[in-house]
Amino acid sequence: RCHAGGTISALRPPATAGGQLAEVDTPALLLDLDAFEHNCEKLRKAMVKFPGVAVRPHAKAHKTAEVAALQLKLLRASGVCCQKVVEAEAMAEGGLTDLLLSNEVVAKRKIERLAGLAAAGTRISVCFESEANLRALNAAAAAQGTHLDVLVEVNVGQDRCGVDRPEEAVALAAAAKALDNVRFAGIQAYHGGLQHIRDPQERAAKVGQVVDRARAAAGALTAAGHPCGTVTGGGTGSFRIEAGSGVFTEVQPGSFAFNDVDYSKNVQEDGSVNEWEQSLWVLTQVMSTNEGRALAVVDAGTKAVSLDSGPPRLHSGFEQMYGVTMEYVSGGDEHGKLLWPQGAYQMPMQLPPVGSLLLLQPGHCDPTVNLYDHIVSVRGLRFGAPTDFRQAAGAQARVEAVWSVRGRGPGH
Ligand code: PLP
Ligand code: MN
């Protein structure tokens, strides 16, 4: 049986625009639009210090064209990064016209799909690291009467993809110039492993080595007659360093817009943490409580929150109300256990009653978003903060829109 409206239940959005927060089906992914806009404005202002350096926000975080369009407007930017072809398709379908595939694309059918986006009028740039891949990109673009901009990926220490030596980058740039349907556009030099180094001095020192390696590659290319129009890289944890290096022309932060527990722990140069506001939340519901075991069980398990970068954290408004810090422990695929710290509570214990709506700050935003079919964007959440939205001021929050996460999945 179909639900009213004809959509099978698994694909049915958990909320409707204009509705109240208390009517949202849980677990659901919420986007606090006020906090999201704040983060975009903060990034835009940060980038004003680096004239001539573009920001190309990474769509791997949201995989949703509506979010990308909003970001570009707020950042006054012209394009986004994608990590997978299906993300690029989701962006193009939503009307975006300038996409960087910040990754290698090697499967023949995927290359054809990518060239298809270019043929349909989207500006497509893509990373490569071998001549064989370059020829395949060129052939697919030629077959569809279009061209692709290509960037040599340079390994700057993460040791995943990318060429290790500047001479290899020079040879690949020369090879690209000999082909008709690819245009050598520059290099990508990204190191994801450094983004979450907590200490700002240590982070800056290690990203300095990334800059050195990017400079060496770009210098060798220029010397060989292949100047780089684009030198792109940097994420939420490091973009200021790349942007201020004099080498990079573009930065690619993604998580800044949403934030997560992991990024909230990065220490800034002034000693502060929580650089970005939390805009992404998992709305969950208490399904069981047990006073003897000092436990509340919520309906968000590992199918609702990623645990790869540590557990989610309960919204601080709730912790303030109870005066304790609750720990989220996995209760399995469909359960999350909120544990009261041993001895930190007084009897009778104040557990949130069954049915209470709570907010979890995801441990890691990107894989958490990827678990959801929809993003429920809301207004007014920030100003009510708290806890159980049936009683608290947050109940005033309104659903503004519900968006399909069209680029979600493993990335086919
Ligand atoms: N650029 C590339 C190539 C990435 O792989 C990533 C994330 O993994 C980013 C940019 C964005 O990083 P962050 O979400 O940490 O800002
Ligand atoms: Mn990530």
Q: Which atom of ligand 1 is nearest to the CA of 236?
A: 16
pLDDT at position 394 is 53
pLDDT > 90? residue 225: yes
Mean pLDDT score of the chain: 93
pLDDT > 80? residue 333: yes
pLDDT at position 381 is 82
pLDDT > 80? residue 386: no
pLDDT at position 341 is 75
Q: Which of 70, 8, 83 is nearest to 40 (CA)?
A: 70
290-299 pLDDT, tens per residue? 988 889 999 9
Burial class (CB in 10 A: 0-12, 13-18, 19+), 22: middle
pLDDT > 60? residue 16: yes
pLDDT > 60? residue 383: no
Please state, in angstroms and as integers, the Cα–Cα distance from residue 181 to each residue in 109, 141, 170, 177, 407, following that order: 18, 6, 19, 9, 27
Rg (CA), the chain: 23
Q: Which residue in this structure is represented by tokens 């979890």?
A: 360
| Ligand index nearest the alpha carbon of residue 151 | 1
Distance 5 CA to ligand 2 centre (A): 35
Share of the chain above pLDDT 90, in %: 83
Residue pair 68/264 in contact (Cβ under 8 Å)? The answer is no
Q: Which atom of ligand 1 is nearest to the CA of 255?
A: 14
Cβ contacts of 297 within 8 Å, gap of 6 or more: 286, 287, 288, 289, 290, 331, 335, 336, 337, 338
Region 368-390: mean pLDDT is 76
Region 59-88: mean pLDDT is 98
pLDDT at position 108 is 98
Residues surrounding ion ligand 2 at CB below 5 Å: 366
| Residue among 43, 56, 58 whose CB has most ligand 1 atoms within 8 A, to mutate | 58
Ligand 1 pocket (Cβ < 6 Å) reads 58, 60-61, 81, 83, 102, 190, 192, 195, 235-236, 252-255
Distance 78 CA to ligand 1 centre (A): 18
Lowest mean per-residue pLDDT among 243-252, 359-368, 388-397: 388-397
Helix (H, G, I), strand (E, B) or coil at 263: helix
Helix (H, G, I), strand (E, B) or coil at 317: helix
Q: Which atom of ligand 1 is nearest to the CA of 102?
A: 3
Region 230-258: mean pLDDT is 98
Region 167-187: mean pLDDT is 98
pLDDT at position 322 is 67
| Residue among 105, 195, 276 whose CB has most ligand 1 atoms within 8 A, to mutate | 195
Lowest mean per-residue pLDDT among 87-91, 267-271, 338-342: 338-342
Q: Which atom of ligand 1 is nearest to the CA of 235?
A: 16
Residue pair 28/59 in contact (Cβ under 8 Å)? The answer is no
Residue pair 108/133 in contact (Cβ under 8 Å)? The answer is no
The pairing of strands 313-314 and 295-298 is: unpaired
Residue whose CA is at the smallest distance from ligand 1 atom 4: 192
Q: Which atom of ligand 1 is nearest to the CA of 233?
A: 1
pLDDT > 50? residue 67: yes
pLDDT at position 346 is 59
Two tokens, residue 20 = 């109240």
